[in-house]
Amino acid sequence: MQPNPDTLAAVAHGGDLHEQLVDAANQVYGAHEGRRALHSKGFFCEGTFRPSSEAANLTRAAHLQGDPVPVLMRFSVAGGNPDDPDGEREPRGMAVRFRADGAETDLLCVSSPVFVTRTPEDFLELLRLRVPDPDTGQPDMEALGEFLQRHPESMAAVQATLGTPPPASYAQLAYNSIHAFRLVDSEGGGTWIRYRWVPEAGEAHIDDDEQAQSRDADYMQADLAQRLADRPVAFELTLVLAEDGDPLDDPTVAWPDERRRVGAGRLEVERVVDDPERDGGVVVFDPTRVIDGIELPDDPILHARPHAYSVSVDRRG
C-alpha cells in the first residue's frame, strides 16, 4: 500500500500523525494524567461468553468454537474527560477481551452505528476544529459547519450522537463494531461481517436531558453494579453478514438493516472488578488484536487506532 499523501503532509508539519491525534484530543478534552486520550471515563467487568454452533460454522477462531470463554470488559464514555457526567449525549463503548486456549482477542464496539470520518487525517482535522477558543470556551461553529459540508459522510455519526438521548443504562444499549472483519472457516472460506451486541434487557434512553443531567454523575456505573447484585447482565453477539456492495473499509457507512444476521453467542456480565490500571497498570483493548480465523479489512481508521493508543499509553505517566 502506498503512503497516504495527507499522512506524509501531516508528519511534515508537526510530527507523527498518531501523536497529533492524541495532541488534538487532549486540546479538546484536556490532558488527564494516567488516563486515555479518549474513552477516558470507564470501568472494568468480568464475565463469560458462550458461543453458538452457528458461529463455529463461520470461523475457526478459538473463542467461537463452543466452549465457554472468560472475558474482561470495559464500559466507557467516548469523550476524553474522565469527569464528564453520564447524562451527556456521547456514544458509549463496550470493549471485550476474549481469553480462549491461551489466546486473546479484542472486540471494541460503540453505541453509535458509524464513525465520524473515513480517514485518520480527516479525524485529526475535525478534532482540531473542535478545540475550544480560549476566550469563548466554544469551538468555531462556522468552521465545523464548513467541514461537514466538505465531508457529508460525517453527518450520520454527528446526527446519531446529537439525536440520541442519554442512555438509561449500559445494560440497555446496543453496541456496534463499526469496522468489518472477515471470518475464516476451517476450509479457508471467508465471510465479511460486522459485530453487534444486543442487550437482552432491551434498549432504553432518558428522553428528558435535564432529568439525565440531574442524576448522579456516575449513575450508569451505579446502575450496572445494582443490576449485577441481582443477576448477570446479558448480551447476544450478532454477526451482520455483508452483501455485495457493502463497504468493507468505510466505517462512516452503516450497512442496511435487512442484512442477514447470525447469533454468535451469549455474553453474561457477572461482576464489576477493581480497576487493573489503578496502580499504574495498563490495559489496552485493540481492535486489530485478532487471532487465527479472523482477518482485517483495509480500513484506514481501524489500522490507525492501535498506533494512537500506543501514543496515549506512553503519555499516561
Active-site residue, 151 included: no
Angstrom distance (rounded) from CA 265 to CA 55: 7
From 13, 18, 32, 39, active-site residue: 39
Angstrom distance (rounded) from CA 222 to CA 178: 27
Q: Which residues contact 187 (CB under 8 A, 6 or more apart)?
A: none
Q: Is 116 within 8 Å of 110 (Cβ atoms)?
A: no
Q: Minimal CA–CA distance to 316: which of 106, 34, 14, 103?
A: 34
Angstrom distance (rounded) from CA 77 to CA 110: 9
- Exposed, middle or buried by CB within 10 Å (0-12, 13-18, 19+), for 46? middle
Q: Which residues contact 60 (CB under 8 A, 6 or more apart)?
A: 184, 185, 186, 292, 293
The DSSP line for 126-143 is HHHHTSPPTTTSS--HHH
What residue type is assigned to position 133 of the chain? Answer: D
Q: Is 49 within 8 Å of 63 (Cβ atoms)?
A: yes
Look up residue 56 and give its DSSP letter. Answer: H
| In the block, residue with C-alpha cell 470495559 | 74
Asked whether the CA dihedral 123, 124, 125, 126 is positive or negative, the reply is positive
Catalytic center residues = 39
